[in-house]
Amino acid sequence: MTITKQRTSNAGKGSKAGKPASVTRPVAPDNGGPLVAGLNPFVGLRPEDLMSTAQQIGAQCVQEPALLLEQQTRLADDLLRVLDGTASAPPARDRRFADREWHDNPLYRMPLQGYLAWRDAAAGFVSRSVMDARSKERAQFFTSLVFDALAPTNMLLGNPAALRETFESCGLNLLSGMTNLLTDALTNQGMPSQVDKSAFRVGRDLASTPGTVVFRNDVLELIQYAPVTAKVHARPQLIVPPQVNKFYVFDLASGKSIVEYLLGQEFQVFMVSWRNPTAAQREWDLDTYVAALIEAIHAIREITGSDDVNLHGACAGAMTMAALMGYCASRGEKLVNAATLMVSVFGLDEQSQLGLFATPEAVTTARQSSQARGVLDGEELGRVFAWMRPNDLVWNYWVNNYLLGKAPPAFDVLYWNNDTTRLPAGFHCQLLDILSDNLLATPGALTVLGAPIDLSKVDCDKFVVGGMTDHITPWQGVFRSARAFGGQTEFVLSSSGHIQSLINPPGNPKAKFFVNDDSTSDPEAWLDGATSTSDSWWSHWSQWLKQRSGPKRNAPTAPGSARYAPCGDAPGRYVIEA
């Protein structure tokens, strides 16, 4: 893979990445808790896997009594320092303990320091044990789950903010919290609700950019967005969303919408809206989705008069794009001029933690489950995603909803995240094979529509984006996956997480991204030599895209064409269907 130089000047605003703290990959999300990067959402997590890991930890205690005694001695010393007031101060950046009582009041500070001492002792024992590296990572995952659950903030008496609310409201917060708890038990399968779903409506508050459905088949709808400029680039842009969520992550509220941004940059924008499959579509697989995409591209070509398109996709949508481009390369068809692939990995290599519990037994169980039901349910996926960041996506709402007695927030990203879709069993099983056996990145290992796939033959220009704090598709895996392509590939690293890397409009003072023209195969070496720019990567991407979108011409005055007549307004029918 060749990584091209950044084409815009960084004079006066860029800096070498080197090793400063601001550039080092964080070991924790913004709340300061441990980053739980061990679950594969397509596989899930079986209770027996957790029990097996707990038994391994117990076995180490028996097999290594000297290490256990040494760690207990250190723990006793840490607890004594808590009692005599010489223990370290609680972590200032952990959002769970931001209340000043945790630092100023010894009745809270000392229990917190004791909790941290126990947590560190467990982590220290695991890290110093003789377990193999993979078993250690599983054990670290398990202990992090346990200690996140046991955090004093999750209990009424251990949470100063909840106690204040109880006294100030005369206990009404606890009554509201019990109501919220019962509601979630009945309607949300016992998980704390993350968002006020009544605050949004698709087509009104979200996915509201004006557009028209110009093509529909059994698998997708194709939306053509209304231009907002007098001139547009001749080559159209097609956005391919992941099948595991609805498309409007690319068209959130005004100011956060990639669609809105691209339209303002004088691009012609089309969007795929996948149909939400049921058990009746259990046989749908990668062939189904690629064939539907090819139909959509031919419709775009006829509508715009362009010979090819630029593709944009994220996560599973980018994987589908890669399969499509591999098919075109195998068949000698040029349907794609350039492609943007965001936060997507093509397989689970030995350096990735995403598959810690993706054992052959777990994969087989996941496969059998979706085949029996015909689909992998979106709510099940959502629960796995939540437990990948439990402090942010579980315990944060446990405190808010049940201890403080507040309603969950009205937040557009969380509404989209909870507006789940299903995966057909055929595609789900194929994804398990692709990720477990690295089929997509292995030349000839995967066949799509009868054509063997070799991504090294995909020689169109690519723009690949990873997220520095991404807990779903770690950026190092995105970097390594991108190397499977031939041709010119530019890798850009956003300073944000999985979704925040996508929704990254210019103007955010905290945003920055990294680029490097070095062709090294080592992601850490790439980052060490990278240059940072304080801005959204969207601006850099727009310049890259304009160079690959052809000359400007008059914007179309009406959607569709004689052959592809409009068949409804955006956001279309499929995104609304349950």
Q: Cβ(459)–Cβ(329) under 8 Å? A: yes
Instruction: Name the packing angle between helices 286-304 and 425-437 (round to 10°).
Output: 100
Residues 6+ apart with CB under 8 A from 27: 34, 35
* Distance from C-alpha of 232 to C-alpha of 549, rounded to nearest angstrom: 9
According to DSSP, residue 440 is labeled: T
> Is the backbone of residue 302 left (phi > 0), alpha (psi -120 to 50) or beta?
alpha
Q: Name the strand (E) or helix (H) holding 424.
A: strand 423-424
* Distance from C-alpha of 189 to C-alpha of 164, rounded to nearest angstrom: 29
- Looking from the CA of 292 toward its CB, the CA atoms found within 13 Å total 22
* Distance from C-alpha of 263 to C-alpha of 286, rounded to nearest angstrom: 30
CA-to-CA dists, residue 276 to 247, 378, 576, angstroms: 11, 10, 9
With b for 16 or more beta-carbon neighbours within 10 A and e for fewer, the 199-238 pattern comes to ebebeeebbbbebbbbbbeebbbbbbbebeeeebbebbbb
* Distance from C-alpha of 225 to C-alpha of 426, rounded to nearest angstrom: 32
Tell me, rounded to whole angstroms, the distance of Cα 27 from its chain centroid.
17
CA-to-CA dists, residue 20 to 15, 16, 247, 530, 535, angstroms: 11, 9, 37, 12, 18
Nearest alpha carbon to residue 272 among 305, 304, 210, 224: 224
- Strand runs (DSSP E) across 315-399, as ranges? 336-342, 375-376
Burial class (CB in 10 A: 0-12, 13-18, 19+), 64: middle
* Distance from C-alpha of 221 to C-alpha of 60, rounded to nearest angstrom: 55
Return the CA Rg of the chain. Answer: 25
Nearest alpha carbon to residue 33 among 101, 126, 86, 97: 97
Residue 315: active-site member: yes
Residue 130, both tokens: 């003789």
3-state secondary structure of 572: coil
Q: Cβ(25)–Cβ(468) under 8 Å? A: yes
Active-site residue among 315, 328, 429, 460?
315
* Distance from C-alpha of 529 to C-alpha of 3, rounded to nearest angstrom: 13
According to DSSP, residue 569 is labeled: B
CA-to-CA dists, residue 411 to 197, 199, 408, 501, angstroms: 9, 8, 9, 17
User: Which residues have a catalytic role annotated?
Assistant: 315
